Amino acid sequence: MSFGDWIDRDGKIILLEKTVRTAPYGFLGVLYGVYLDQLGFSPIAVGVVLTLTVLTSALYTFVISFVADSIGRRRTLVFFALTDAAAGALLFVSTDWWAPVLAGIVGNMTVGAGEVGPFLSLEQSMLPKTTPSNRRTLAFSVYNLVGYGASSVGALLAGLPQYIGFRPLFLAYLVSGLLGALIFSRLSGLVEADGGRARRVALSPPARPIVFKLSALFAVDAFGGGFIGQSILSYYFHLRFGLDLSALGAIFAASQIVTALSFLLAERIARRIGLLRTMVFSHVPSNIFLLSVAFAPTVLIAVLLLLSRQSLSQMDVPTRQSYVMAIVGESDRTAAAGLTNTTRTVTSSISPSLAGYALANTWIGTPLVAAGTLKLVYDAAMYRSFRRVRPPEESATGGP
């Protein structure tokens, strides 16, 4: 089946903008914490700023969960693309301490291992309308693949400030926001909820217990993940092994590439054993690798363990997104995506401050151990709670 056979024009536009948006997120995720450090921020202050960045993104995600379908998904996406441009402008024009703090509040830059924020939630609710249901997981796999692929290219650029300074990369972030607004404006009305008509904003009664339970479980996973967001991991390797931005950029570019390749494998595995099992059974060994990174005696071993972890850790992302969209109705998708992603973002926003404190005052591997342990708890609870809840396509075929 060719590319054009399973995804329509709107789907291709979403994939294109995902690429344009996440390339700058790739270098921002690596250098943002180091940039703050060079401006004189302490480890605790770096953690607080990263927490603020994630928390404001959560606020935006929560708000759009209830208003985007009424005011228009396209219009909402164009607005947030312009806020990224504004954040890039702030970083570009000033080196005062307030500029990166305000940029983190205004924009939606990703400082963790994967994208969060309003873009993700809206695109997650729109993608199922651009592809047949039997290709939904493939669509989410490709969506995440292009995001991580573009992010890996961006991460390679994180070493450039040593030669050209930070401002050219901040300018690239500004331009990506402007391009994103233009690209989003080309979406058709088919991506709007109910053909663009106003709709209720609350979850339907059947969806509420499902979404609330998923949100609680995702909170545990995301809280653990906040301890090892890309900016924190980059800062960890910088502090523990003394790596410079060029080395950090190469490491995280490699990790993004490994992650991107795992997405297509996740779709194939899900077809054989089911979405939920793929989510959980890939997550458990990845968290064991994460725990091992904290005890690695050399940078080489630590990097190899990190890459092993990345080859498995994000397989649950496209399968999780597909699973959530499959077990709720179309009219509940924007709210379900927004609420589950808001919960993830809010809880993950708390952890960077705690990680910064731990890096400054306790054993340096504490954030990694905390993350691995919490994520293992989530894996067990997720499988126990939802092992009998199957997407329609798996139930209809008597699948896994």
Encode pLDDT of 123-138 as tens digits.
998 999 899 888 899 8
- For residue 180, the SS3 value is helix
Residue spans per domain, the chain: 3-191+200-396
| Per-residue confidence (pLDDT) for residue 197, from 0 to 100 | 44
Is the pLDDT at 202 greater than 70? The verdict is: no
The whole-angstrom distance between residue 337's C-alpha and the CA centroid of its chain comes to 13
CATH numeric code, 3-191+200-396: 1.20.1250.20
| Per-residue confidence (pLDDT) for residue 352, from 0 to 100 | 80
- 335 band by pLDDT with thresholds 50, 70 and 90: confident
Burial (Cβ within 10 Å: 0-12, 13-18, ≥19) of residue 239: middle
The region of weakest confidence among 81-95, 199-213, 312-326 is 199-213
pLDDT in tens, 269-320: 998 999 999 999 999 999 999 999 999 999 999 999 999 999 998 899 999 9
Burial (Cβ within 10 Å: 0-12, 13-18, ≥19) of residue 381: middle
pLDDT in tens, 83-117: 999 999 999 999 899 999 999 999 887 765 567 78
Q: What are the b/e assignments for 78-112, b being 16+ CB within 10 Å?
A: bbbbebbbebbbbbbeeeeeebbbbbbbbbbbbbb
Most confident by average pLDDT, 1-15, 153-167, 239-253, 287-301: 287-301
* Percentage of the chain modeled with pLDDT above 70: 94
pTM for the structure as a whole: 0.80
- 398 band by pLDDT with thresholds 50, 70 and 90: low
| Per-residue confidence (pLDDT) for residue 170, from 0 to 100 | 95
